[in-house]
Amino acid sequence: MDVRALIKKPIVTERSTKLMEENKYCFAVDLRANKHQIKQAVEEIFKVRVISVNTIRILGKKKRMGRSEGKRPDWKKAVVTLAPGDRIPYFEGV
């Protein structure tokens, strides 16, 4: 699997910006990606050293549109801890 396809997008919320102070960054990743693949992808794309990766699988919410009911897709979030001194400039100033 291509490393750029593993990491879908960065997650920028109040909580994730607070985690950046602890040198932790949040990403939405592919559901099939494991921690080793996520670590390799972040190291290769952003040229940083990754210490640890924590993942959580988030279930999609049920939504109604009139009488019909649907479901948003499930997704996976990864919280990546970087080595001291390493930063991802993409997130700076957000």
CATH, residue 15: 3.30.70.330
Q: Is residue 90 part of a domain?
A: no
What number of helices (H) and strands (E) belong to the chain? 3, 6
Task: Specify the pLDDT at position 89.
Answer: 85
Q: Residue 73 is which amino acid?
A: P
Strand ranges in 1-94 using DSSP code E only, listed in sequence order? 7-10, 24-29, 50-58, 62-65, 68-71, 75-82
Q: Is residue 66 part of a domain?
A: yes
On the question of pLDDT at 1 being above 80, the answer is no
**What confidence tens digit (pLDDT) does each residue in 18-70 have?**
999 999 999 999 999 999 999 999 999 999 999 999 999 999 999 999 999 99
Task: Specify the pLDDT at position 92.
Answer: 72
Domain count, the chain: 1
In this structure, is the dihedral angle defined by the CA atoms of residues 86, 12, 51 and 6, taken in order, positive or negative?
A: negative
Contact 94, 12 (CB under 8 A): yes
Q: Is residue 24 part of a domain?
A: yes
Range of the domain at 62: 3-84
Tell me, yes or no, if the pTM score tops 0.85.
yes
